[in-house]
Amino acid sequence: MSILETIRTALRALMSNKMRSVLTMLGVVIGVSAVVAMLALGEGTKADIETNIRSLGADVLTVRNGPAQRGAVRAQSVDSLKLEDAEALTAVDNVTAVAPASNGSAQIKRLAGNIGAQVIGVTPAYFQVQKLNLEQGSAITDAQVRGRLHTCVLGANVYNTLFPLGDAIGDHVKIKGLSFQVVGVLESKGSGFSSADDNVLVPITTHMSTLFGRQFVSSITVQVASEDLIDTAKTDVEAFLRMRHRLKPGDDSDFNISSTKDVLEAVGQITGVMTAFLAALAAISLVVGGIGIMNIMLVSVSERTREIGLRKAVGARPEVVLLQFLVEAVTLCLVGCGVGLAAGLACVGIMRAFPESAVGKASAPFWAMALAVSVSALVGLVFGLFPAIKAARLNPIDALRHE
């Protein structure tokens, strides 16, 4: 019997028990659809996070207090960055803008309105480096920073909560009991890694001296002339700050510098592990489906024992019988895989119908679908092999006597 005829015989055997074949495939359908949906969700989450990080700009370095983390061990944080460091960094080659920031949190009040927000002390350069646009009014100015004035710029969510009727410019809010005049309102950036909607920006000198009583800034953001110069600028900035902090060769830096590239690499590792974990959970359904297929194929061998004995008695070789049952098992898996792919893509389509939600950027990559097909075929081969071997080894005389 030719291979083609063997395949036709296997398909006829499956079609003779349609309901059983459909129920047998159900485990594979669920497994494949779950794998596709989970991988699509993981890829979409990764893309969304990377988009938000890239929105910060690939030409930006962020300097923070304390030495860099080494492996799983985080070094003790040390406050080392001063406002004077930020001012001095403007002299470094290839640096186009420097924006120090001092972070804190407080309740922002106006009349009966009250909202918790991140209060960030900034300079005018912060708006350029962080790519913040104004919906109303003006940004923090150098004069306000020098004079330590009580002025502020509100994020969109803070503005909408405290000024439901609009018209905030010139009005006042209270931060830690002190009155601040609103000079500007930021454009809404929506939820995301770089969103400033829940922030309130004040002059950095006012933030450090009046509101929080600090001597050190939280971070310094450095904008570089070109993305191609980011590594060179990183080296220059590190050397410059080590010199200013009087660190000797061999001493650990009391600050750490990261770029968008570094953050993307770290996020890629985390989301990769997350995606693999989700896919592994979903793949358990495929294993369960494979066990179901093996069970049904063993039942099929038992039911068709006389048929197998008759075929072997008239000359069918063991490998032909083996191939027939393997084809049946693989066919069940591949057909189930096709239905599962359609169901999985339908799930992805439903998720993409909500673009503003956390799952709105779900995307099923080609490799995920190819992986599902390959694993399905492998499941068919692995779990169909034992029943196929059992059928191929049947003694024709004993099989013909089977009742």
pLDDT at residue number 204:
94
342-370 burial string, b = 16+ CB within 10 Å, else e? ebbbebbeebbeeeeeebebbbbeeebbe
CA-CA distance, 98 to 221, in Å (whole number)? 6
208 DSSP assignment: I
Phi–psi pair at 118, nearest 5 degrees: -80, 120
Q: Name residues of the chain where pLDDT drops below 50.
A: 72-73
Nearest to 336 by CA among 31, 15, 19, 38: 31
Alpha-carbon gap, residue 64 to 56, rounded angstroms = 16
**CB atoms near residue 320 (< 10 Å):** 18
* Contact between 220 and 99 (Cβ < 8 Å): yes
DSSP letter string over 323-358? HHHHHHHHHHHHHHHHHHHHHHHHHHHHHHT-TTST
Taking the whole predicted model, whether its pTM rises above 0.85 is answered as no
pLDDT reported for residue 134: 92
Closest among 262, 329, 369 to 43, alpha carbons compared: 369
Contact 318, 392 (CB under 8 A): yes
The pLDDT of residue 295 is 82
Looking at residue 162, what is its pLDDT?
A: 92
Residue with tokens 């900034």: 122
Q: In this predicted structure, what is the pLDDT of residue 287?
A: 79
Closest CA to 62 of 46, 77, 81: 81
Task: Choose among 309, 298, 286, 339: nearest CA to 35.
Answer: 286
Report the amino acid identity of residue 200: V
| CB within 8 Å of 192: residues ≥ 6 apart | 48, 52, 55
Contact 100, 217 (CB under 8 A): yes
Distance between CA atoms of 322 and 298, rounded to whole angstroms? 13
pLDDT given for residue 181 in this prediction = 95
Cross-strand pairs, 259: 61
Q: Where do the domains of the chain lie?
A: 3-52+265-401, 79-253
Cα dist from 199 to 6, 109, 153, whole Å: 70, 14, 9
Cα distance between residue 270 and residue 59, in whole Å: 23
Give the whole-angstrom CA distance, residue 371 versus residue 78. 47
Report the C-alpha dihedral over residues 390, 394, 399, 403, rounded to 10 degrees.
Answer: -20
Q: How far apart are CA 366 and CA 363, in angstroms?
A: 10
Q: Cα dist. 189→75, 192, 193, 264 in Å?
A: 34, 8, 10, 20
Are 145 and 203 in contact by the 8 Å Cβ rule? The answer is yes
pLDDT (0 to 100) of residue 358: 63
Give the model's pLDDT for residue 401: 66
Rg (C-alpha) for the chain, rounded Å, is: 33
Is the alpha carbon torsion for 366, 371, 374, 380 positive or negative? negative
Give the distance, in angstroms, between the CA of residue 218 and the centroid of all CA atoms in the same chain. Answer: 27
pLDDT for position 72? 45
